[in-house]
Amino acid sequence: MPGQYETVIGLEVHVELATRTKIFCGCSTAFGGKPNTHTCPVCTGMPGTLPVLNRQVLNYAIAVGLATHCEIARYCKFDRKNYFYPDNPQNYQISQLYLPLCRNGYVDIETTEGTKKIGIHEIHMEEDAGKLFHDEQGSCSLVDYNRAGVPLIEIVSEPDMRSGEEAIAFLENLRTTIQYLGASDCKMNEGSMRADVNLSVREAGSNVYGTRTEMKNLNSFHAILRAVEGERARQIALLESGQSVELETRRWDEDRATSFPMRSKEDAKDYRYFPDPDLMPVRVSDELIEKIQKSQPELRPEKKARYQREFRLPDYDIDIITGFKHLADIFEETVAICRQPKKVSNWLMGETLRLLKEKDMDSEDICFSPEHLAGLIDLVERKVITSTVAKEVFELMFEKDIDPEQYVEASGLKTVRDENALQKAVEEVIASNPQSVEDYRNGKEKAIGFLVGQTMKAMKGQADPVRIKEILRICLTSANVL
Amino acid sequence: MNILSMTAVELSRAILAGRVTAVDAMEAVFDRMESLEEKVHAYITADREAAIRRAQAVQERIERKELTGLLAGVPVAVKDNICTEGILTTCASKMLSGFVPAYSAEAVYNLEKAGAVLIGKTNMDEFAMGSTTETSAYGVTKNPRNYDHVPGGSSGGSAAAVAAKECFFALGSDTGGSIRQPAGFCGVVGMKPTYGTVSRYGLVAYASSLDQIGPLTQDVTDCATVLEILASQDAKDSTSISRDDTDFSTALVKDVTGMRIGIPRDYLGNGVDSDVRNRILAAADVLQKKGATVEEFDLKLVEYAIPAYYTIASAEASSNLERFDGIKYGYRAKDYDGLHNLYKKSRSEGFGAEVKRRIMLGAFVLSSGYYDAYYLKALKVKALVKKAFDDAFSRYDLIMGPVAPTTAPKLGESLRDPLKMYLSDIYTISANLAGLPAICVPCGEDSKGLPVGLQLIGDCFQEKKLLRAAYTYEQSRKETCGDARAI
């Protein structure tokens, strides 16, 4: 009975920090760029070069630590993690093992049983590696060091989560918090947020942890959910058949919806961690912590409270809009222009989220400007366009941030006010739909809805459906029309 | 006028006064090399035409009065583990055969700013690992004072070049005595400054927490002058420090009145050659006559310094040398089968035996299960060594002793017994473990006519005390035995 088992999950989350330059040199961290153009002797591991800590990395990491209720170490060190691989120009990664920057924090997540604290074991700073490209013919591999030295923080949770849903709630909370801090854009699809899942199962009620596995290569929340389910089932099946779970690292294959062992405990690497002698220990002053604490931006809980006060939005709307910093920013900027909180919220919660989902995009990728959304809302308010037309225009705005006013003007999408044109359209619809006309006259009130729809279709949506209905009623009740 | 008889400072004055040009000086150096280099082999790379071109460019700037400071136009030799933009930098290893850096070390940049002109790159022990300059992949350097003997190491090429007058001064690097010991063996002045005084940017790291660049010169005056130019806080090196006391030449005062000097009893005990002991005691007499008090004392933990040093230095080296993998630059094996094999063959073929020995030793002491027992324990010893020196410096201004237990060994003797070679570093490594400044000045010869080096160790940032005592000793000795510089 699989129901007897409890799943225990801990996460290791890597987040790329939003600094302009790399962690130990002055190279740009910009995404993309031709291979090896954002590089210098330091981040390509040339002989004799030395790392120098980018203080902004420390500031961001402290900000994340404070927002997740961590203790901030007043004295921390960088360590070298030694391993040979060509994506790593020095063949060691500069990270923190012995004295990390942040420890003993937590975040609150909402579960069906109420609020739950998920512990954070530590947060440490480290550098990203380069990217390898393997030639399809297998004759060579190429390496791009643009990513080498991009700053990361690794957030290690306690094994406090008991389901995939809780893991996702934890990640969503982290993502929102970090986005609010401006410390990262946390885009999973671009790899600026990545999570490894440590999972074990145990009999319900037991207080001893089972043997865990570590799952890598999880590129979306969806993949994490599926991997948790898959790994839970795999471990339970092993235990049920009298076998044991191996302590190992596994790689999730999203296409095949299954995981494969990468390396087991026996061939676990010895990274020979030791303090990096090229970097001085980092001393964090109380003044610095205080300064960062004071300049922390409004985080989600405060924002939610303010939205209730200022905009009187339903809780449901507030929850969704504040769930993504970028969405909340667009909301506030648009409301500042058009002063219609609920209308703005409707556009964001309805069409915006629908299109994001349809196009598999991140809210960070939204490109339309608040000015244009406010303009669109204004066009509908002034009845210049109908809501049907507005949705069409919005799709284009979503795609390439067009100016709705100009576009409506240029494409002749304004609502037709010409009574003669409307009368003519209605008459044509009545003439070509005798059955519906008869149904209506026989008392089937619903039939008029169909006729309104047909007329709107004939008008390409550019008419006021209320006015069409009025004209239809007049026409249908006056016997002299036919 | 014999250009080669001048010190760097004398030459610089002559050039600034228009009596000699930078080109004359460089020509003199290369003429000297033509007659001697075949026997000494101090250099790995020295391109006459390129050096003359550099000298011409500097001479023009001197004539335009753009360069007016000391060292302007003075030819300098640089150890081959210090990067020089556009010029081969091999660390005396096959691993870096053909490696031409796109940047210069900060120390080289500081010298160039002052107008010193690069002659070429000097031979050394491979990756600075060795005490004899015999582990070089590019041949052995010989001691100019006696070609059957080693020049010491690892900065043996730099020391030999200064002693042979194949340069006016040189840069070396000192991780466990690599400037001071060859200076002592070749009879020149060599100094390791306080850790952090000279930027390590561009110095190919052996053991980052111990490495320090410093000068090898003909006399103490040159040493102070060069160090003044080398010292700078560098934003590119997190371990470099800001100092406002780098006017080292102000310390060239012939006076040690009231200076308290201690000689650790162990530094003159068992294992020290009697000729060496006698020369050091004679030097102590000289300093005493000039007003210093000199006494023996017990410096704790001397015997633990060597194991601690080789543990820490090897650990850091094992990691520092990981970047030499045959992927990005340097040597790559011709035939290999897959990535792992590429690493294995390139590194097996590219590194020499001594480097491999230290990489293996270092990887071992850092490995899981041994880290605490070896590496962490060595760090604790390092802290205790520092404390022992702190105690000593509460009583003494300086510590003095020999730079090595013996004078320069014969070629081919040392590498047969690496452990014995490691033990010969006993008097120099403590200064590196504790980050202290130390200087070596010639103090006579042994019965075979080989130079003996007097080492003075100071507390952190006390370079001026060191230079004052060294200068006083050097000048006093000159009075009694004539010019000590002459070969």
Q: Which of A139-143, A262-266, A342-346 shows the lowest per-residue confidence on average (mean pLDDT)?
A: A262-266
Give the pLDDT score at B170.
Answer: 98
Q: State the nearest Cα–Cα gap between A2 and chain B, in angstroms.
A: 38
Give the pLDDT score at B486.
Answer: 37
Give the pLDDT score at B60.
Answer: 98
* Nearest residue to B42 via CA among B148, B114, B124, B145: B124
Q: Is B322 on the interface with A (CB under 8 A)?
A: yes
- In a 13 Å sphere around the CA of A425, the CA atoms on its Cβ side amount to 26
Chain A residue with the nearest C-alpha to that of B367: A272
Q: Which of A254-258, A372-376, B377-381, B468-472 shows the lowest per-residue confidence on average (mean pLDDT)?
A: A254-258
Q: Which of A26-35, A270-279, A407-416 shows the lowest per-residue confidence on average (mean pLDDT)?
A: A407-416
How far apart are alpha carbons B343 and B362 in whole angstroms?
A: 18
Q: Is B368 on the interface with A (CB under 8 A)?
A: yes
Q: Is B239 on the interface with A (CB under 8 A)?
A: yes
- pLDDT above 80: residue A376: yes
Q: Is B196 on the interface with A (CB under 8 A)?
A: no
Q: State the nearest Cα–Cα gap between A110 and chain B, in angstroms.
A: 41
Q: Is A51 on the interface with B (CB under 8 A)?
A: yes
Q: Which parts of chain B have pLDDT scores under 70?
A: 481-487
pLDDT range class, residue A448, cuts 50, 70, 90: confident
Q: Is A279 on the interface with B (CB under 8 A)?
A: yes
* Nearest residue to B251 via CA among B22, B474, B3: B474
B154 annotated active-site: yes
CATH number belonging to the domain at B3-260+404-481, selected among 1.10.357.10, 3.40.50.300, 3.90.1150.10, 3.90.1300.10: 3.90.1300.10
Give the pLDDT score at B269.
Answer: 87
Q: Which residue from B81, B201, B325 is facing A50, i.e. has the nearest CB?
A: B201
B366·A279 Cβ contact <8 A: no
How far apart are alpha carbons B172 and B168 in whole angstroms?
A: 14
How far apart are alpha carbons B458 and B436 in whole angstroms?
A: 6
- pLDDT above 70: residue A39: yes
Chain B residue with the nearest C-alpha to that of A42: B236
Q: Is B171 on the interface with A (CB under 8 A)?
A: no
Q: Is A277 on the interface with B (CB under 8 A)?
A: yes
pLDDT tens, residue by residue, A330-369: 999 999 999 999 999 999 999 999 999 999 888 888 999 9
Q: State the nearest Cα–Cα gap between A248 and chain B, in angstroms.
A: 18
pLDDT range class, residue A239, cuts 50, 70, 90: very high
Q: Is the distance from CB of B435 to CB of B198 less than 8 angstroms?
A: no
Q: Is B383 on the interface with A (CB under 8 A)?
A: no
B103·A46 Cβ contact <8 A: yes
Q: Which residue from A82, A89, A279 is facing B328, i.e. has the nearest CB?
A: A89
Q: Which residue from A41, A53, A80 is facing B238, i.e. has the nearest CB?
A: A53
Q: Is B80 on the interface with A (CB under 8 A)?
A: no
pLDDT range class, residue A482, cuts 50, 70, 90: very low
In degrees rounded to 5, what are phi and psi of residue B335? -110, 130
pLDDT range class, residue A479, cuts 50, 70, 90: low
Instruction: Estimate to the nearest angstrom the gap between the alpha carbon of A61 and the chain centroid.
Output: 20
B79 strand-pairing partners: B122
Which residue reads 């027992």 in tokens? B373
Chain A residue numbers touching B202 (CB-CB < 8 A): 48-49
Give the pLDDT score at A480.
Answer: 47
pLDDT tens, residue by residue, B305-350: 999 999 999 999 999 999 999 999 999 999 999 899 999 999 999 9
As for the ipTM of the complex, it is 0.95
- pLDDT above 80: residue A252: yes
Please spell the DSSP secondary structure of A299-354, one letter per residue: -HHHHHHHHHHHH---HHHHHHHTTSHHHHHHHHHHHHHH--HHHHHHHIIIIIHH
Helix (H, G, I), strand (E, B) or coil at B303: helix
Q: Is A22 on the interface with B (CB under 8 A)?
A: no
Count of CB pairs separated by less than 8 Å, A with B:
99
Catalytic member of B93, B154, B173, B318: B154
Which residue reads 């012995």 in tokens? A98
Give the pLDDT score at A364.
Answer: 82
B178 annotated active-site: yes
Element (H, E) at A156: strand A151-157
Q: Which residue from B82, B327, B375 is facing A274, i.e. has the nearest CB?
A: B375
B322·A47 Cβ contact <8 A: no
Give the pLDDT score at A265.
Answer: 65
Helices (H), B101-199: 106-114, 156-163, 180-186
Chain A residue numbers touching B105 (CB-CB < 8 A): 48
Q: Which residue from B238, B315, B323 is facing A280, i.e. has the nearest CB?
A: B238
* In chain A, domain spans: 2-288, 298-411, 419-481
The letter for the amino acid at A351 is E
B319·A49 Cβ contact <8 A: no
In degrees rounded to 5, what are phi and psi of residue A253? -110, 105
How far apart are alpha carbons A92 and A278 in whole angstroms?
A: 13
Q: Which residue from A46, A80, A84 is facing B343, i.e. has the nearest CB?
A: A84
Topology of domain A419-481, per CATH?
Arc Repressor Mutant, subunit A (1.10.10)
* Nearest residue to A90 via CA among A146, A126, A36, A47: A47
Mean pLDDT of A388-401: 92
- pLDDT above 50: residue A1: no
A47·B375 Cβ contact <8 A: no
Give the pLDDT score at B419.
Answer: 83
Q: Which of A155-159, A290-294, A429-433, B315-319 shows the lowest per-residue confidence on average (mean pLDDT)?
A: A429-433
Q: Which residues contact B405 (CB under 8 A, 6 or more apart)?
A: B271, B272, B273, B276, B424, B426, B427
Q: Which residues contact A272 (CB under 8 A, 6 or more apart)?
A: A80, A82, B318, B319, B363, B366, B367, B368, B371
Q: What angle do CA B221, B223, B228 make, to 5 degrees?
A: 100
